[in-house]
Amino acid sequence: MAYSEKVIDHYSNPKNVGTLDKAKVNVGTGLVGAPECGDVMRLQIEVDEESGLISDAKFKTFGCGSAIASSSLATEWLKGKTVDQALAIDNMDIVEELNLPPVKIHCSVLAEDAIKAAINDYRVKNGLPELVAEKKAH
Amino acid sequence: MNLELPIYLDNNATTPMDPRVLEAMLPYFVEKFGNAASRNHSFGWVAEEAVDYAREQVAKLINADPKEIILTSGATEADNLAIKGVFEMYATKGDHVITCTTEHKAVLDTCKHIEKLGGHVTYLDVKEDGLIDLEELKNAITDKTILISIMYGNNETGVIQPVREISAIARKHGILFFTDATQAVGKIPVDVNADGIDLMAFSAHKMYGPKGVGALYVRRKNPRVKVTAQMDGGGHERGMRSGTLNVPAIVGFGKACELCMNEMESEAKRLSVMRDRLETSLMELEETYVNGTREHRLPHTANISFKYVEGEGLMMGFNKNIALSSGSACTSASLEPSYVLKALGLGDDLAHSSLRFGLGRFTTDEQIDFTITAIKDTVIKLREMSPLWEMFKEGVDINAIEWAHH
């Protein structure tokens, strides 16, 4: 199976690899997937409290090239968005942008799950109710 | 250094054909095109003579009689013919077959098939080192057991089963012993008499011969073994496998066997030195594990897990330049990690993190050097990107986390 150029580019030059201080109240952390399934994503957002915008996003991913690319792309898209705008990111947007083949759609779903998990973590830390996301098939 | 890329290290999947094999085959396409079964003219005689000679070359490599070689389209067909053929032929004696969980799919799925036909199959587990437990084998034998089917060398790990001990047990109980020796023949000495083998499958394209040709060895003496044909027709191959013989491929198979016969010993030495060097260098990376026993192993195979990185992601780092296989789910159609590695007791996470190296006749030291560097660099890079590696480094127990399985 050949990878799309965009997947290769994100894999070779991943954007925003790293770790934010999860102890900070304005940092939300999402850890999704499972080692036995072959992919684990950790995605973090840092929210600027004054503007309400996501000022930084970082990821670390254990997984195939498509999983790495999906999370790398997600962090790029998150930066500069409001939390509400971030919630609107749909896995199919990632599929389209990266030209993921059908067997790799689950990588994009995982990235969306990671975004939602990070946002929920941020919300809970800031006294907001947890959002119940619709369950997507993996 | 003049290194040609990409480097091929997937010789357990298939080997490139040796140019000397191609040379031997060429006259049999256009010029000497006869049907080996044409008894009444020189075209047929020439073809028959070529097949006879090749059959001798094949037989010699495994110390068999040429009459004991049933030519097939490859090892999968030979596996099918052996298991289904024995099951049918010896139906009055019993209906129980013993095999093991790390066999090739061609054996496992054939066993599943005979289960559908009403047969009974015992699938022996393997130990952590990949070897079967001989006591378990003995205990699995019943008065209905007609066949023990245990592979010679494993395609994923290279682990070599104790074939002589297995055959001694089979013999003692009057049970036939079949071995899928696809990865072993031509790589290490295989002697059907010294090893006590009754039936054996092997293939040309794993030993620098052409694809689409292989053989089933069927013992003729002590005991005389017979299998029921699975393909009916003109009664070729002593009635056990009908179909016009693929003369050029068979000629190539014979030549490939002859070359292995002459070169196997030095080649095995050379490859095991290179394989060990590759392995030792890669093991310098932390949390790196060799899968399967290193003691009883094919000389050209290494299977290594790099914990906390995923196999497909790992391969993507160098697959433009190096061709090899992974036990990762993502590389298989089933999305399940390697059942062979899981049978060794590896967790799914380690199975996902494995690479299989298959060295071959044309592998060079320069290629191994390049591979070591490329893999080390990629593992280090991906671990920097891996949340699991970070947790490991921070002393977090990854198994204690409640992962959401999907």
pLDDT tens track for A72-125? 999 999 999 999 999 999 999 999 999 999 989 999 999 999 999 999 999 999
| Same-domain pairing of B30 and B72 | yes
Residue from the list A3, A39, A60 with its beta carbon closest to the beta carbon of B385: A60
SS3 B20: helix
CA–CA dist B161, B133 (Å, integer)? 10
Q: Taking an 8 Å Cβ-Cβ cutoff, which residues of chain B contact chain A?
A: 308-313, 316-317, 328-330, 335, 337, 347-349, 352, 384-390, 398, 401, 403-406
Per-residue confidence (pLDDT) for residue B50, from 0 to 100: 98
Identify the pLDDT of residue B329: 60
In terms of DSSP bridges, do strands A54-62 and A39-47 run parallel, antiparallel, or are they unpaired? antiparallel
Residue A46 sits at φ, ψ, to 5 deg, of -120, 125
Average pLDDT over residues B61-88: 98
Q: How far apart are CA B86 and CA B88, in angstroms?
A: 5
ipTM, 2 dp: 0.93
Nearest CA in chain B to A2: B316
pLDDT for A78-87, tens place per residue? 999 999 999 9
**Domain count along chain B:** 2
> Cα–Cα distance between B396 and A105 in angstroms, integer?
30
Long-range contacts of B218-227 (CB under 8 A, 24+ apart): B218/B68, B218/B70, B219/B68, B219/B192, B220/B65, B220/B67, B220/B68, B223/B176, B223/B198, B225/B86, B225/B176, B225/B198, B225/B199, B226/B85, B226/B89, B227/B81, B227/B82, B227/B85, B227/B86, B227/B88, B227/B89, B227/B199
Cβ-based interface (< 8 Å): residues of A facing B:
3, 8, 11, 14, 17, 19, 31-42, 60-65, 67-68, 103, 106, 110, 138
Which CATH number does the domain housing residue B396 bear?
3.90.1150.10
Q: What number is the average pLDDT over the span B275-287? A: 97
Angstrom distance (rounded) from CA A22 to CA A122: 10
B328–A34: do the CB atoms touch at under 8 Å? no
Helix (H) or strand (E) holding A31: strand A27-34
Query: Which residues span the domain enclosing B188?
Result: 19-259
Other C-beta atoms within 10 Å of B295: how many? Answer: 9
Answer yes or no: are the C-beta atoms of A41 and A32 closer than 8 Å.
yes
CB contact under 8 A, B330 and A61: no
**For residues B144 and B121, what is the distance between their CA atoms, to the nearest angstrom?**
11
For residue B400, is pLDDT > 90? no
Q: Chain A contacts of B312, Cβ < 8 Å?
A: 38, 64-65
Average pLDDT over residues B24-46: 97
Strands B301-306 and B354-358: antiparallel
Domain boundaries, chain A: 5-125
Both B177 and B58 in one domain: the answer is yes
Each residue's pLDDT tens digit, A56-74: 999 999 999 999 999 999 9
B219 shares its domain with B273: no
Q: Is residue B405 part of a domain?
A: no
Catalytic-residue membership of B260 = no
- Which of A4, A40, A107 has the highest number of chain B CBs within 10 A, making it the mutation to test binding with B? A40
C-alpha neighbours within 13 Å on the C-beta side of residue A15: 17
What pLDDT does B64 receive?
98
Q: Which residues from B are below 8 Å from A68, CB to CB?
A: 313, 385
Structure tokens at B254: 């014979």
* Mean pLDDT to the nearest integer, B346-367: 94
Which amino acid would we find at residue B223?
P
Whether residues B271 and B254 share a domain: the answer is no
Mean predicted confidence (pLDDT) in A19-26? 95
A17 pairs with which residues across the strands? A59
Q: How far is A108 from A7, CA to CA, in rounded Å?
A: 12
Q: Which two tokens stand for residue B166?
A: 């297995």
pLDDT of residue B401: 85
Residues of B within 8 A of A17 (CB-CB) are 384-385
Average pLDDT over chain B, rounded to an integer: 95
What is the chain A residue with the closest CA to B316?
A65
Domain identity same for B254 and B278: no
Which domain-ending residue is among B259, B285, B305? B259
Range B165-190 average pLDDT: 98
Among the partner-chain residues A31, A38, A65, the one whose CB lies closest to the CB of B337 is: A38
CA–CA gap between residue B97 and residue B12 (Å, rounded): 27
On the question of pLDDT at B58 being above 90, the answer is yes
Last residue of a domain, one of B199, B226, B259: B259
pLDDT band at B199 (very low <50, low <70, confident <90, very high): very high
Q: Which pLDDT score, from 0 to 100, does residue B333 have?
A: 58
Q: What is the dihedral of CA B330, B335, B337, B340, to 10 degrees?
A: -120
Name which of B386, B401, B402 to mutate to probe chain A: the one with the most chain A Cβ atoms within 10 A of its Cβ: B386
Instruction: Identify the residue among B330, B334, B354 best suited for mutation to test binding to A, counting A beta carbons within 10 A and taking the highest.
Output: B330
Q: Which of A7, A19, A36 to mutate to test the interface with B (most CBs of B within 10 A)?
A: A36
Same domain, B303 and B327: yes
B234 and B333 co-located in one domain: no
Q: Do B227 and B375 belong together in one domain?
A: no
* Closest approach of B289 to chain A, Cα-based (Å): 17
Chain B residues in contact with A64 by the CB 8 A cut-off are 310, 312-313, 316, 328, 330
Q: Do A33 and B404 touch (CB under 8 A)?
A: yes
CB–CB of B132/B155 below 8 Å? no
Q: In chain A, whose CA is at the least distance from the CA of B349?
A: A36
Does position A35 have pLDDT exceeding 80, yes or no?
yes
Q: How far apart are CA B364 and CA B146, in angstroms?
A: 45
Specify whether B227 is located in the same domain as B181.
yes
Q: Is B331 helix (H, G, I), strand (E, B) or coil?
A: helix
Instruction: State both tokens at B191.
Output: 């002697």
Residue pairs spanning A and B at CB distance below 8 A:
87
Q: Is the pLDDT of residue B283 over 80?
A: yes
Same-domain status, B321 and B222: no
pLDDT tens readout for residues B90-141: 999 999 999 999 999 999 999 999 999 999 999 999 999 999 999 999 999 9
How many angstroms separate the Cα of A16 from the Cα of each of A21, A50, A73, B329? 14, 23, 9, 27
- B229 within some domain: yes
A87 to each of A84, A90, A130, B192, how far by Cα in Å?
A: 5, 8, 13, 66
Sequential DSSP letters for B257-325:
HHHHHHHHHHHHHHHHHHHHHHHHHHTTSSSEEE-S-SSSB-TTEEEEEETTS-HHHHHHTTTTTEE-E
Reported confidence tier of residue A38, pLDDT bands at 50, 70, 90? confident
Q: What is the mean pLDDT of residues B55-63?
A: 98
- Comparing CA positions, the residue from A3, A1, A6 lying closest to residue A72 is A6
Share of residues in chain B with pLDDT > 90 (%): 91
Phi-psi region of B405 (alpha: psi -120 to 50; beta: other; left: phi over 0): beta
B187 and B78 in a common domain: yes
Active site residues of A: 37, 107
State pTM to two decimals.
0.93
Least reliable range by pLDDT among B7-16, B200-209, B334-343, B383-392? B334-343
Say yes or no: B283 and B337 in one domain: yes
What CATH number should be reported for the domain holding residue B96?
Answer: 3.40.640.10
How large is the average pLDDT for residues B85-90? 98
The mean pLDDT value for B11-23 works out to 97
Residue B406 lies in a domain: no
What mean pLDDT is predicted for residues B60-74? 98
Residue B394 has pLDDT above 90, yes or no: yes
Among B312, B384, B406, whose Cβ lies nearest the Cβ of A37? B406
pLDDT at position A3 over 90: no
The reported pLDDT for the residue numbered A135 is: 59
Residue in chain B closest to A68 (alpha carbons) equals: B313
Above 70 in pLDDT, residue B334?
no
CATH class label, A5-125: alpha beta
- Report whether pLDDT(B368) > 90: yes
Q: What is the mean pLDDT of residues B190-196?
A: 98
pLDDT value at B336 more than 80: no
Nearest to B358 by CA among B295, B404, B304: B304
